Amino acid sequence: MQSSVKHGEEDIAANDLAELLFAATPAATVRNSYRLTTPLQNPSIAHSQVRMSEEAKPLTVGNNLNLEGKVAFLCGASSEKGFGWAIAKELADAGATVIFGTWPMGLKIFERNYKKKSMEDERRLSDGSLMEVAKVYPLDAVYDHQDQVPEDVKNNKRYKDLAGFTIQEVVDQVEKDYGQIDILVHALANGPEVTKPLLETSREGYLEASSASAYSLVSMVSRFGKIMKPGGSVVSISYIASRQVIPGYGGGMSSAKAQLESDTRTLAFEAGRKWGVRVNTICAGCMASRAATAIGGDGGKPFIMKAIDYQEANSPLTGKFVAEHVGKAALFLLSPMAGAVTGVTLPVDMGLHVMGLSLDSPAFA
């Protein structure tokens, strides 16, 4: 969890609308922006044709889950208990080079804990080796460039000695270090007023939730997209509150997750046409990560524990939900196995999203 320092109509009508839109747009603009049709114009088509001609290999699990030579940038993966960490391990296990973007306020803590003996089990991969993070970049995803950073943040002891921590500065550093990346994982969110009902959420709190949890994805795709290879892939993490009422998940966070999912669809179109990059999100189930556990419970059981109890009582699948489920789903979406999948919100929640009634309701007693 990341924060700033400040703690239809009918078909004919749709066709008419499209015709009007394109008629009102300069041809060069439309052509240069999105209407890329030939293999040489559309990087995603060109990429897949080049790969097939060069490799001439059948599509198999073994080939497509081998990510050796791929570079993956993950933000929000600094806690070993979260979804980002689980995704990082799956990518590393598949051979990808993993680099992190970590919130400056927790950077030193992460660097100190990462090498501890107690972290070895959390870093262990399927072959017994330990996951290595090739480089860690300080990243505060609520700032796109230095001009947006307030003086009190610049002078904060956790920030002032850092070479660059805004999104554009990190993109520039990654480009200098690695040239291009193949994978981008957005696993961060923050709502400073998450414990407040929406009716009690301030404008400032609402906008901060949207900035940190939703716009950060837009900003990162728009900037990292320029240094992503054709065929690259982006994955973010959403939550069922984007579409359904989840009492206790407030502060505008449900709105931010709805924005995230909507933006995923639009970014899939725009980034797909512009760079040949796929964009998807995972609507993850409830898990007691450190960040989620910090959400209050009015002096009683934390919100996330109540949500987990509900999930376990009502989901179609009765096994225990763990971060690894999200990690493996993300590995699929980020690999060539999902080469034609984009703009998708994939539920990974033991099937809870399909339920219309709660089995543990007193009505069924």
Question: Is 34 a catalytic site residue?
Answer: no
Of these residues, 137, 206, 239, 310, which one is catalytic? 239
Pairwise CA distance, residues 107 & 27, whole Å? 48
Of these residues, 143, 206, 215, 249, which one is catalytic? 249
Question: Is 114 a catalytic site residue?
Answer: no
CB 279 within 8 A of CB 264: yes
The pair of three-digit structure tokens given for residue 34, joined into one six-digit string = 């999105």
DSSP states of 128-152: SPBP-EEEEEE--TT-SSGGGS-HH
Q: What is the dihedral of CA 270, 272, 276, 281, to 10 degrees?
A: 110
CB 310 within 8 A of CB 345: no
| AA identity, residue 255 | S
Rg of the Cα trace of the chain?
Answer: 21
Q: Which residue, among 232, 213, 189, has the nearest Cα to 333 in the 3D structure?
A: 232
| AA identity, residue 196 | K
Supply the residues annotated as catalytic: 239, 249
